[in-house]
C-alpha cells in the first residue's frame, strides 16, 4: 500500500509503485480464501455470512469516501468535471468502476490525475472476483474436485487472456476482471496449500522471504508506466508477494520487518488509506492545474493518513463489531442513496447552475461529442457501402453531403457545431484520431494502443470518397500542427517514401501536397484550415475555482504564436503557391487580438482543452468560413 501512495504522490521517484495493487490482489486472495477454506472445513461456510462480512468490511469506508467526494466536488468542480465524478461515484458504488474507466479510455480521455475515484477500479475487480470465487469453492468441495488443478487451469487461462488483451488493447488488459483474476487466484492457491499442502510452499522460509523481497524491489525499480503492463512483468510483484506470504511468520524479514508496530498499524489502516489517498491527491492536482507543490502533496498524504486512521477508529471498528443484525442492510441502503445522488449529478450534467460553474460556460468542455464519435455511425457504409475502417470516425447529417470534413481530432472539433446542430451544412466527417492525411506515405504508428494505427488507410479512404462521390463539392482539411519550431520541422517523422525516412516538414509537404493535388484533379474545392494557436494549459486551469487558489495564466503574446509557427506557415504558403486553386483559411484572428492570444471571448470558451476548440469556437469559425465564401460550391 505504501508503494501505491508513494507512486501516486511522487510518480517520478518510485516509478514502479503501482505494482502495489498487484501485491494487494495476491494478499487479498490469500486472506479471504483462508477464511473461506477454514469455514468450509468446519462445515460452517455460508454465502450469506460471507457477503455480510464483506459488506461490513468494505462498505463503511467506501461510503465515507464517496460521499465526501460528492460534497467536495460540488464546491470545487466545473460542470463537466462534476458530471464525470457523478458517473464514477455511481460506478464505484456498483463496483463497476473498472468497466466505466475502460469505456472512457482513448484519445479524448481525461488525465488520470483529474479523476478522484480512479483508484476504485481495483476494488471493483476484487469484488467481481468474490462474486464467483466462493461459489466455485463450494462446487469444488461438493463434487470432490481437485482444487489446485481447477484453480491452476483457470489462473493460466486468465493470464493468457491478460497477454492476449495486452497485445490488442492495454486498457482492456488493465481494467478487465478476467485478465486480473489470476492474481487473486495465486493468493487463493496459497491459502489452500497452507492448509492442505504446506510442504509444497514452505521449504525454506528465510530464503523465500529474501527472494520475495528481491523480486518486489526489482519490480519497483524496473517496472514503469512505459512497459507493457500487466503481462509478463506482473509476475515480479505477484511471485514476490506469494513468496513472502508462503515464508510464513517465522521468516526473519516477516517477523522483524513486516510485523513491527509501524507496519502493523499501516496494515490496519491500509484499506481506508487506499480509499482516501487518491481523492486528496487528485483534488490537489485539479485545483492546481496538475502542478501541485511538494508541500501540497505532502499535506495531501498527511491528511490521507489522518482520515484513514479516523475512519478505522470511528467508523470501521464500530460498524464491523456492531451487534445489529441489520447492519449490512443499512449499509446497502446508504450506499444506494449515495449512488442515486451521484447518478443525479451525472444525469443533470454536473448541475451547471452551481456558483462555481457560472463563471464561464464550461459546458463547452463536454467531451460527449468525442465519446460518441469514437464509435461513429452508419454514414460511411450508407454512402458507399464501405465498412468502417478501424479507428475511423465517420459522421454525417445528410445522405447527399456537399461538404467533406477530413483530418484528425481537430477536424472533429471543427465539425462540432455541425454535430451539435448549431450550424446547418449538408456534410460528412471522416477522420482518424492522431492521423495526418498523407495517403502516399508509409508510416510506423506512434500510438500502438488505442489510436493512430490506421492512418494511411483512413487517408486513402478520404481520397477515394471525395473522388467517387457525386455530391461532395468541397473538402475541408483540418489537422493539428505537424511541427512547432524550425528544429522540430527537421526532426525525424514516422513517415517514409520507398523506405526512406522523412523529416516532419518533408512529410507534411509531400503528404499534404499529394492529397491536395489529387482532390483538385478530382474537381473538388479544397479548403486547408491552418491549425489554431495552442494554449499553454487546459482552460479550466486558468479560471479561479476558490479564493485561495491562484489559476494558471492561459493568455500569451501573439508574437510567440507567430514565432512558433513560422516554418509551418511558410510550408503552407508554399503549398498555396504550388496549388493556386487551394483555399487557405487562417483562424488565428479569432483567438488573438491586440497582441494577445486568449482562451475565451468574454464568458464563452474558445477551447475544450489546450488545443481542441470548443463548439462555440467551431460555430464562429464556420460562420467566418461562410462569410469568406469558403463553404460554398
pLDDT band at 228 (very low <50, low <70, confident <90, very high): confident
pLDDT band at 425 (very low <50, low <70, confident <90, very high): very high
Q: What is the mean pLDDT of residues 109-113?
A: 69
Inform me whether the pLDDT recorded for 364 exceeds 50. Answer: no
Q: Give the model confidence (pLDDT) of 567-581 as tens digits.
A: 999 999 999 999 999
Q: Give the model confidence (pLDDT) of 150-204 as tens digits.
A: 999 999 999 999 999 988 888 889 999 999 999 999 999 999 888 887 776 777 8
Q: Give the model confidence (pLDDT) of 42-92 as tens digits.
A: 888 888 899 999 999 999 999 999 999 999 999 888 888 899 999 999 999
Can you point out the beta strands (E) in 322-416? 392-396, 403-407
pLDDT at residue 359, rounded to an integer: 57
**Alpha-carbon distance 553 to 539, whole Å?**
9
pLDDT band at 365 (very low <50, low <70, confident <90, very high): very low
pLDDT at residue 603, rounded to an integer: 73
Residues 329/570, Cβ–Cβ less than 8 Å: no
Query: What would the 3-class secondary structure string for 198-258 be?
Result: HHHHCCCHHHHHHHHHHHHHHHHHHCCCCCCCCCHHHHHHHHHHHHHHHHCCCCHHHHHHH
Q: Give the model confidence (pLDDT) of 19-31 as tens digits.
A: 999 999 999 999 9
pLDDT band at 599 (very low <50, low <70, confident <90, very high): confident
Structural domains in the chain plus CATH codes: 2-357 (no CATH), 364-627 (3.40.50.1110)
Inform me whether the pLDDT recorded for 376 exceeds 70. Answer: no
pLDDT at residue 129, rounded to an integer: 94
pLDDT at residue 46, rounded to an integer: 87
Sheet holding 556-557, edge to edge: 556-557, 596-597, 592-593
Inform me whether the pLDDT recorded for 115 exceeds 70. Answer: yes
Q: Which residues contact 48 (CB under 8 A, 6 or more apart)?
A: none
**Alpha-carbon distance 476 to 437, whole Å?**
12
**Alpha-carbon distance 204 to 214, whole Å?**
15
Q: How many residues does the chain have?
A: 633
Q: Give the model confidence (pLDDT) of 250-291 as tens digits.
A: 888 888 888 888 888 998 999 999 999 999 999 998 888 777
pLDDT at residue 360, rounded to an integer: 59
Inform me whether the pLDDT recorded for 353 exceeds 90. Answer: no
Inform me whether the pLDDT recorded for 371 exceeds 60. Answer: no
User: Which among 361, 423, 289, 353 is positioned nearest to 600, based on CA atoms?
Assistant: 361
pLDDT band at 428 (very low <50, low <70, confident <90, very high): very high
**CB neighbourhood size of 86 (10 A):** 27
**Alpha-carbon distance 175 to 124, whole Å?**
9
User: Which among 607, 540, 604 is positioned nearest to 111, based on CA atoms?
Assistant: 540
pLDDT over 90, % of the chain: 54
Longest dimension (CA), the chain: 87
Beta bridge partners of 492: 503
pLDDT band at 390 (very low <50, low <70, confident <90, very high): confident
User: Which among 559, 587, 556 is positioned nearest to 481, based on CA atoms?
Assistant: 587
Burial 115-127 (b: 16+ CB within 10 A, else e): bbbbbbbbbbbbb
Can you point out the beta strands (E) in 408-546? 427-432, 442-443, 474-478, 492-497, 500-503, 525-529
pLDDT band at 220 (very low <50, low <70, confident <90, very high): very high
Inform me whether the pLDDT recorded for 368 exceeds 60. Answer: no
Q: Give the model confidence (pLDDT) of 434-461 as tens digits.
A: 899 999 998 877 655 567 788 899 999 9
pLDDT at residue 482, rounded to an integer: 94
**Mean pLDDT for all residues in the chain:** 88
For residue 108, the number of C-alpha atoms closer than 13 Å in the C-beta half-sphere is: 23
Q: What is the mean pLDDT of residues 122-144?
A: 90
Q: Give the model confidence (pLDDT) of 391-419 as tens digits.
A: 788 888 888 899 999 999 999 999 989 98
For residue 538, the number of C-alpha atoms closer than 13 Å in the C-beta half-sphere is: 19
pLDDT at residue 620, rounded to an integer: 94
pLDDT at residue 393, rounded to an integer: 85
pLDDT at residue 369, rounded to an integer: 59
The residue ranking higher by pLDDT, 367 or 27, is: 27
The residue ranking higher by pLDDT, 549 or 361, is: 549
pLDDT band at 241 (very low <50, low <70, confident <90, very high): very high
Q: What is the pTM of this model?
A: 0.80
**Alpha-carbon distance 389 to 13, whole Å?**
41
Burial 562-599 (b: 16+ CB within 10 A, else e): eebbebbbebbeebeeebeebbbbebbebbbeeeebbb
Residues 258/41, Cβ–Cβ less than 8 Å: no
Amino acid at each position: 500500500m505504501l508503494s501505491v501512495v508513494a507512486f501516486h504522490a511522487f510518480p517520478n521517484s518510485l516509478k514502479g509503485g503501482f505494482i502495489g495493487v498487484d501485491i494487494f490482489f495476491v494478499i487479498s486472495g490469500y486472506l479471504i480464501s483462508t477464511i473461506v477454506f477454514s469455514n468450509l472445513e468446519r462445515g460452517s461456510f455460508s454465502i450469506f455470512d460471507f457477503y455480510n462480512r464483506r459488506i461490513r468490511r468494505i462498505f463503511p469506508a467506501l461510503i465515507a469516501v464517496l460521499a465526501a467526494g460528492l460534497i467536495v466536488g460540488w464546491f470545487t468542480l466545473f460542470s463537466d468535471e462534476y458530471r464525470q465524478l457523478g458517473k464514477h461515484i455511481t460506478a464505484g458504488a456498483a463496483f463497476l468502476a473498472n468497466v466505466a474507466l475502460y469505456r472512457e479510455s482513448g484519445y479524448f480521455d481525461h488525465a488520470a490525475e483529474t479523476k478522484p475515484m480512479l483508484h476504485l477500479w481495483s476494488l471493483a475487480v476484487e469484488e467481481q472476483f468474490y462474486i464467483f470465487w466462493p461459489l466455485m469453492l463450494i462446487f469444488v468441495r461438493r463434487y470432490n474436485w481437485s482444487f489446485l488443478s481447477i484453480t491452476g487451469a483457470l489462473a493460466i487461462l486468465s493470464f493468457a487472456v491478460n497477454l492476449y488483451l495486452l497485445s490488442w488493447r492495454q486498457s482492456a488488459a488493465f481494467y478487465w476482471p478476467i485478465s486480473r483474476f489470476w492474481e487473486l487466484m495465486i493468493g487463493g492457491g496459497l491459502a489452500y496449500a497452507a492448509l492442505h499442502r504446506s510442504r509444497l510452499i514452505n521449504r525454506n522460509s528465510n530464503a523465500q522471504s529474501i527472494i520475495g523481497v528481491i523480486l518486489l524491489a526489482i519490480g519497483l525499480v524496473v517496472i514503469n508506466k512505459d512497459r507493457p503492463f500487466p503481462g509478463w512483468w506482473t509476475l515480479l510483484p505477484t511471485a514476490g508477494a506469494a513468496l513472502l506470504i508462503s515464508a510464513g511468520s517465522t521468516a526473519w524479514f516477516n517477523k522483524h520487518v513486516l510485523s513491527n508496530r509501524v507496519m502493523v498499524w499501516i496494515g490496519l489502516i491500509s484499506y481506508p488509506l487506499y480509499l482516501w489517498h487518491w481523492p486528496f491527491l487528485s483534488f490537489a492536482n485539479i485545483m492546481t492545474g496538475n502542478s501541485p507543490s511538494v508541500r501540497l502533496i505532502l499535506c495531501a498524504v498527511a491528511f490521507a493518513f489522518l482520515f484513514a486512521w479516523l475512519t478505522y477508529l470511528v467508523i470501521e471498528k464500530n460498524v464491523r463489531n456492531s451487534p445489529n443484525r441489520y447492519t449490512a442492510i443499512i449499509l446497502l441502503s446508504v450506499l444506494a442513496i449515495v449512488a442515486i445522488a451521484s447518478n443525479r449529478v451525472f444525469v443533470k450534467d454536473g448541475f451547471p447552475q452551481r456558483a462555481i460553474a457560472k463563471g464561464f460556460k464550461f459546458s463547452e468542455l463536454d467531451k460527449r461529442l468525442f465519446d460518441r464519435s469514437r464509435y461513429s455511425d452508419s454514414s460511411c457504409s450508407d454512402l458507399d457501402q464501405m465498412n468502417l475502417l478501424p479507428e475511423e470516425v465517420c459522421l454525417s447529417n445528410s445522405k447527399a453531403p456537399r461538404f467533406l470534413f477530413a483530418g484528425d481530432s481537430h477536424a472533429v472539433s471543427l465539425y462540432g457545431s455541425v454535430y451539435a446542430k448549431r450550424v446547418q451544412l449538408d456534410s460528412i466527417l471522416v477522420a482518424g484520431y492522431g492521423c495526418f492525411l498523407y495517403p502516399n506515405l508509409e508510416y510506423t504508428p506512434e500510438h500502438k494502443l488505442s489510436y493512430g494505427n490506421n492512418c494511411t488507410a483512413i487517408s486513402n479512404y478520404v481520397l477515394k470518397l471525395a473522388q467517387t462521390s457525386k455530391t461532395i463539392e468541397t473538402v475541408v482539411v483540418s489537422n493539428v500542427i505537424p511541427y512547432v519550431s524550425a528544429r522540430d520541422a527537421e526532426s525525424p517523422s514516422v513517415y517514409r517514401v520507398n523506405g526512406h525516412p522523412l523529416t516532419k516538414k518533408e512529410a507534411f509537404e509531400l503528404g499534404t501536397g499529394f492529397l491536395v493535388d489529387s482532390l483538385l484533379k478530382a474537381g473538388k474545392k479544397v479548403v486547408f484550415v491552418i491549425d489554431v494557436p495552442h494554449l499553454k494549459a487546459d482552460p479550466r486551469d486558468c479560471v479561479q475555482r476558490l479564493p485561495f487558489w491562484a489559476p494558471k495564466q492561459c493568455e500569451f503574446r501573439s508574437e510567440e504564436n507567430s514565432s512558433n509557427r513560422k516554418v509551418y506557415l511558410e510550408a503552407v504558403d508554399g503549398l498555396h503557391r504550388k496549388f493556386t486553386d487551394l483555399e487557405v483559411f487562417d483562424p488565428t484572428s479569432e483567438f488573438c487580438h491586440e497582441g494577445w492570444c486568449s482562451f475565451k471571448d468574454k464568458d464563452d470558451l474558445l477551447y475544450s482543452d489546450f488545443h481542441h476548440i470548443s463548439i462555440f469556437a467551431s460555430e464562429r469559425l464556420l460562420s467566418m468560413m461562410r462569410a469568406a465564401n469558403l463553404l460554398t460550391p
